[in-house]
Amino acid sequence: MTLSLSVENVSKRYRLGTIGSGTASDDIKRWWSTKIMRRGDPLSPLMPAIDHGNRDGDILWAVRDVSFSVDEGAVIGIIGKNGAGKSTLLKILSQITAPTSGRIRVNGRLASLLEVGTGFNGELTGRDNIYLNGGILGMTPPEIRRRFDEIVDFAEIEEFIDTPVKRYSSGMYVRLAFSVAAHLEADIMIIDEVLAVGDIGFQKKCLGKISDSSSAGRTILFVSHRMDHITALCPRSIVMQAGSLVHDGPTEDALSYYYRLFDTVEASPLAERLDRRGRGRVRVLDVWIENQSGERVETIITGQTLVFKMRIRNMTGKTVGNLSAGIGIFSFSNMFAASLSTTEGGLGAFSVEDEMIVAFRVERMSLNQGQFYLNCSVRSATGAYEFDDLIENAKTFHIDYGDFHGIGQSGGGFVSIEHHAETEVVEAHTDKSPQANAVG
């Protein structure tokens, strides 16, 4: 099979807080080597891997020693936590930024959908911006003219095509921008989180367009935090972590590896986590799940009775009142699955003097099989969302299918819904038309 893309030991480093190398002589050496002699940067030799992630003093390795290859017509997912190096890698592949070291081989024309709408001019009409943006993305005027009607039809803005885009709604703007980029006639498409915007109907349409491009033999590299999109589109995925490629294989295995990365965050005691926001009058110290026996559990079964508990501490030394506590439950595809709160649960506003445990009892867990994580918060019970403590990915857990309906088998879908089925008798249909009563 023909190789479409090859990435060989690609790295990209940035020096934090400085511009230039610090001395005129070093800057001249760097300019002479990279710009005139077309060689590597003499001041940035690759260093051996270090134990503390992608930082080395004031040096940040956004991408480090990444290698992989993609066959023609393949669809590859690229996943990883925020800051893993995904977008930097795509910018290198798209030639938006140059690698510090390494080599990239591209077989065919490459198009990037990294930031839809880049290059749009608000004063120009939708028609003018199709030509402007298409040209920026590498389309020739004949190509744009040939595909103009397709672009407009896909964006569903024909009525407003001669209206300045500054008067477009955000949804119209995104639809037009994606439509222009999606109609590039390219052999390789690089797509970065462009489906994070727009309504559900538009997202489905975009997924269909990407799938059609794949069926037509285009190679696609697709970055998303929506694991359902990754699963639907990509048979193979690579996982990035701290600038390095840490896993490459079937998407199902890649997702399992990706989920385990969150366990390393959770390994730090919640009270010591620094990635939190809020005024800090009250702090979440711990969160856990108990079964009916009061035992802490990491895996739960659909239909179980559970108690979600959150320990909080007053950090001020005096009573803090008018508080509301909550837990958000999210799937690993970033879908907001459910919320638990003292307001919804009937407790209302409460006060804390020193430490206390807030408990949320769930009589029958209705969520079905999957990986989930919890966000925890304590905030003001009235007015704006003024958080005292907000910590994301505070805990991960797994749900297995259970006999929610008591019929000896598991239900399907994202949730199991309590329901009752019955039948209704309908009177037999009688054709009373004049023709039916006529005698032959």
Q: How many CA atoms lie within 13 A of 93 on its CB side?
A: 37
All residues at 6 or more sequence positions from 332 whose CB lies less than 8 Å from its CB, including other chains: 227, 255, 258, 259, 262, 370, 371, 372, 373
Mean pLDDT to the nearest integer, 88-114: 86
17 or 312, which is more confident: 312
CA dist 172 and 296 (Å) reads 48
Extents of the domains making up the chain: 3-8+63-261, 270-400
Q: How many CA atoms lie within 13 A of 303 on its CB side?
A: 15
Residue carrying structure tokens 């989920």: 259
Do 322 and 382 touch, CB atoms closer than 8 A?
yes
| CATH architecture observed for domain 270-400 | Distorted Sandwich (2.70)
pLDDT of 48: 34
pLDDT of 284: 96
Other residues' Cβ atoms within 10 Å of the Cβ of residue 66: 22
CA dist 239 and 366 (Å) reads 31
The model scores a pTM over 0.85:
no
22 or 90, which is more confident: 90
3-8+63-261 CATH:
3.40.50.300
Do 375 and 391 touch, CB atoms closer than 8 A?
yes
pLDDT of 403: 80
Do 100 and 13 touch, CB atoms closer than 8 A?
yes
Q: What is the mean pLDDT of the chain?
A: 82
Highest mean pLDDT among 20-29, 149-158, 261-270, 318-327: 318-327
What pLDDT band is residue 50 in, cutting at 50, 70 and 90?
Answer: very low
pLDDT at 17 over 60: no
CA dist 150 and 152 (Å) reads 6
The H or E element containing residue 328 is strand 320-331
pLDDT of 34: 63
Mean pLDDT to the nearest integer, 269-286: 91
pLDDT of 266: 58
CA dist 233 and 227 (Å) reads 10
Q: For 306-342, write each residue's pLDDT tens digit.
A: 999 999 999 999 999 999 999 999 987 778 899 999 9
**Among residues 282, 262, 371, which one has the least CA distance to residue 326?**
282
pLDDT at 47 over 50: no
113 or 347, which is more confident: 347
Q: For 140-160, write each residue's pLDDT tens digit.
A: 899 899 999 999 998 888 999
Q: How many CA atoms lie within 13 A of 257 on its CB side?
A: 19
What pLDDT band is residue 52 in, cutting at 50, 70 and 90?
Answer: very low
pLDDT at 439 over 50: no
pLDDT at 53 over 60: no
CA distances from 116 to 137, 192, 233, 401 (A): 10, 9, 20, 39
What pLDDT band is residue 118 in, cutting at 50, 70 and 90?
Answer: low
pLDDT of 49: 34
Helix crossing, 170-182 with 141-155: angle to 10°? 140
pLDDT of 332: 77
Q: Residue 398 CA to chain centroid, in angstroms?
A: 20
362 or 49, which is more confident: 362
The H or E element containing residue 211 is helix 200-215
Q: For 167-223, write each residue's pLDDT tens digit.
A: 988 778 878 888 887 787 788 888 876 655 556 677 777 777 777 777 778 898 988
pLDDT at 81 over 70: yes
The H or E element containing residue 313 is strand 306-314
pLDDT of 249: 93
Do 384 and 428 touch, CB atoms closer than 8 A?
no
What pLDDT band is residue 45 in, cutting at 50, 70 and 90?
Answer: very low
